[in-house]
Amino acid sequence: MVKTEKLTSTDTIHYTTCPLCSAKDIALTLATEDYSISKEDFEIYACGNCNFHFTQNAPAPMAIAPYYKSDVYISHSDTKEGLVNRLYHTARDLMLKKKRRLIQKLTSGKRLLDIGSGTGYFLNHMQQNGFSVSGVEIDGDARAATLKNFNIKVNPPPTLLDGQLSEKVDVITLWHVLEHLHDMDGYMQSMHRQLSDDGVVLIAVPNHTSYDAQHYGKHWAAYDVPRHLWHFSPKTVARLADKNGFTVVGHKRLPLDPFYNSLLSEQYQSSKLSLIFGGIIGLISLLVSYVNPSRSTSPIYILKKK
């Protein structure tokens, strides 16, 4: 669970030790801004022991909802207004098949749990292709949209965290979700309990050691404070997995993410040629990831039980 002092529904969370390894050697590494919604400033701290990065003084679980309530937060609003939003939806539709094909290569199992299922497009796609699907989503409006649009009932998080889901699954997916979860260890342990012994977990998270992250610095869109509580690298994902009974057995890249992040980052810098420069930096970042996969913008980590 979240380790903090004097936590209430209106508090922020201040860490005195690393949330991943509990070391006391933590310090400010980057100051940035919530460019998309609140325009508030936030600090990102790093651990001197394991190099885990995290948002310091982020809103507590009961206080963070306002930071998601905006039409610009695409995965829950479904808005298609503006260039970035239209590109997001185009990319999402293209990636549905890619994600499904990856899963089909990794397992013949057909029972899938998607954590952070948003408005249900991935669940619907997988169900249409023969999978028995279930979802977990914290946002009530997104759960309602999934039920309305696709007739798929999605559970709130306590259903998973409290062990109320009885049937084990063959595949668990988290598409850019883990970085949002206050109780990352609690979710990891719940996934371990819910996954069949030969099952597979797919986790996609931004990588702060990627080329585009290093290029844009505090303007990097995938910092997305305060919604992104944790800022991962391949080494810290492996450490989190090991801590909770998993092993990282492989990884793939999301090839469109460097372009999306770079375009958005250019806009945060008020670039007048965001489409051009974003495309160039996105392409460079993608090419760098082929030379050095550990610098992929958004790796998909493939986990199995130890």
Write out pLDDT tens, residues 216-263: 999 999 999 999 999 999 999 999 999 999 999 999 999 999 999 999
All residue ranges of the chain with pLDDT < 50 are: 1-9, 74, 76-77
* CATH, residue 138: 3.40.50.150
pLDDT for the residue 78: 56
Q: Is residue 187 part of a domain?
A: yes
Residue 143 lies in a domain: yes
The answer to whether residue 242 is domain-embedded is: no
Q: Domain range spanning residue 105? A: 93-193
192: left (phi over 0), alpha (psi -120 to 50) or beta: alpha
Domain assignment present for 107: yes
- pTM to 2 decimal places: 0.90
Residue 98 resides in a domain: yes
Is 175 domain-assigned? yes
Residue 130: CB atoms within 10 Å: 9
Alpha helices, DSSP H, located in 130-273: 140-150, 157-161, 184-194, 211-216, 234-243, 257-268
pLDDT in tens, 20-58: 999 999 999 999 999 999 999 999 999 999 999 999 999
Q: How many domains does the chain have?
A: 1
Is the residue at 167 inside a domain? yes
Per-residue confidence (pLDDT) for residue 271, from 0 to 100: 81
- Look at residue 112 and tell me if it is in a domain: yes
